[in-house]
Structure 1
């Protein structure tokens, strides 16, 4: 966030007179994007935590790593999300057995 603000300050000093946006608009866009990425990161982290807990994986590590990277570096977070889908176990230990296979008599 600090890097974004410093870039905006630098951009403000070099804005041409006919630039279509003022500094307040650029700040508002950066704040909205920060909130959007935070919500996406929290959502991804929460979903990974719940899914990993059902599957018996290390849920806290996956949730913090994937959610944090999605918020901070969006492309890396997406790569971690794909890696989670590849690495996670296929079945949950708490899934009920299929009634036709279990042979309920």
Structure 2
């Protein structure tokens, strides 16, 4: 069974199956998708009372690293997000004159 674990490492000096240009283009497209998804989540979460930085970094990282898992995380965000807040957060109580 161990012999099959080393099988991918035995390329025999063959050329790689993918051209480096194609890998670069795929990486750039992945970064663009992750940036757009993270930006949208950040803007949407800032309108709601969510932790926008945590949500945007998490969604962007998952979209870049594991696209299907990132799409599922984006769907989960849309389902569990709160309602839109109507304005600035209010503070209960009074503020002392020292501030």
Q: TM-score, normalising length from structure 1?
A: 0.66
TM-score by length of 2: 0.69
Provide the aligned C-alpha RMSD in A.
2.2
Q: 2:73 aligns with which of 80, 89, 98?
A: 80
Query: Structure 2: any 5+ residue segments left out of the alignment?
Result: 1-9, 88-99
Q: Which runs of 5+ in 1 are unaligned?
A: 1-9, 16-22, 95-105
Whose helix fraction is larger, Structure 1's or Structure 2's? 1
Moved over 2 A (4+): 10-15, 90-94
- Alignment size in residue pairs: 78
| Alignment match, 2:36 | 43
1:3-82 counterparts in 2 under 5 A? 13-15=13-15, 26-82=19-75
Counterparts in 2 of 1:90-101, with a 5 A limit? 90-94=83-87
Shift of 1:12: 8.6
